[in-house]
Structure 1
């Protein structure tokens, strides 16, 4: 039985957020999505969002009636004040802080805050994000402590109890693929493999067994490694592009 409440999913169009969308649809009675244009160096993920939503509705009738509106918001200020490899053409490398320069300071904090403001108006108290501190690049705003503190702050600041769900927090990428299979079978795995996008460089020209991407950036390497580990115990799913 689905929980008779509304959830709002932070939906970027990547593997993690697509899996989180399926997770929410499996649990809640009504699910809406929110995405952000924050001046990222490519819009590939944003373009993938519509395809993923349409295909989920088409291929999974048990979720079709639960999938509500999408909200795409402009957060260009993030790109304006950032100097990172995700918001410019800079080469991907580690900075003096020890973090990769793909880290966009404040991005997830701001996104959850804006999502909570929208959720307040939409009558949703469940916010779902794909943050993870198992297989990740060390981003401090992906850590469990950050999300827990943010949940408290949002609840106090809006005088409304929000629940911030991060179903991937303690999963590696292989386990994330496994979760997708548990939720929607090999059809969902194949949909996420082909239609989601994780590559930092926005490459949609090269299709690998794990999906589209350049194959060399940190996001592609992480996704590839997770796919190989997941496929070590393969379901009945072809991997030839």
Structure 2
């Protein structure tokens, strides 16, 4: 598999913290980080999300990734989970309530949890500060996404400035998926860990907003109709077509 045996000189000795939900994007980001940094820790958030089953997938993904390559296994450090129940309490959204997924009056999908990524990055930076980690990796993307404003590149850049000023550190926020679509995200996984990583993400990760794990599709488990399943399924189809072509 095309994995660098040792991290590049640019990141030698610098650790990373990956925002790791248990979904396709964060699993790909974790592989990306393991391929680059000598020490990688993971962080998940429990905010009362409707698809909380994603948190249950995290350990299987971590162990699977560690087993794909000895170097990845050596680099993978501790996992952390933080409870952010207050975020769920103040969020009246389809991700935190049993309600139908639809567009809100402002044009945003009602799966948008206001402030979620801003809160996530703030807590991640606080943990990275304590753990002595400089790099923070997240799966935010504004190419194939639901229109969430806190996934935009400008938002992440602004957060990096604010966190560095507010904590007197030089954190680097990495978003390796920012400018690629879901088909390219599958292709990135393939380039990082071969078919074994693609298969691991299909089988172990979770994307469905409804938390559905009953039905197995060629791209993984999910209801097959929610926006998250739709993006993942269409991306997987385009990825397979590109490989076949």
**TM-score band w.r.t. shorter chain:** over 0.9
Q: Is the counterpart of residue 123 in structure 1 residue 129 in structure 2?
A: no
Deviation at 1:54, TM superposition (A): 1.1
Specify every segment of 5 or more residues in structure 1 that has no aligned partner in the other structure, as ranges: 236-241
Q: Is the counterpart of residue 212 in structure 1 residue 221 in structure 2?
A: yes
Q: Is the counterpart of residue 67 in structure 1 residue 76 in structure 2?
A: yes
State how 1:124-203 maps to structure 2 within 5 Å.
124-203=133-212
Specify every segment of 5 or more residues in structure 2 that has no aligned partner in the other structure, as ranges: 1-5
Q: Give the alignment's TM-score, normalised by structure 1.
A: 0.96
Distance 2:107 2:147 in 1: 9
CA distances 1:121-165 after superposition (whole Å, capped 9, x unpaired)? 000010000000000010000000000000000000000011000
Deviation at 1:23, TM superposition (A): 0.2
Q: Is the counterpart of residue 15 in structure 1 residue 16 in structure 2?
A: no
What is residue 25 of structure 1 aligned with on the other side? Answer: 34
Give the number of aligned pairs.
235
Q: Counterpart of 1:202 in 2: which secondary structure?
A: coil
Match for 2:65 among 48, 56, 73?
56
Deviation at 1:234, TM superposition (A): 3.1
Distance 1:77 1:89 in 2: 17
Distance 1:197 1:63 in 2: 22
Q: Counterpart of 1:95 in 2: which secondary structure?
A: coil
Deviation at 1:55, TM superposition (A): 1.1
Distance 1:193 1:36 in 2: 22
Deviation at 1:59, TM superposition (A): 2.6
Backbone CA RMSD of aligned residues = 0.8
Q: Is the counterpart of residue 109 in structure 1 residue 118 in structure 2?
A: yes
Deviation at 1:21, TM superposition (A): 0.1
Deviation at 1:56, TM superposition (A): 1.1
Q: Counterpart of 2:235 in 1: which secondary structure?
A: helix
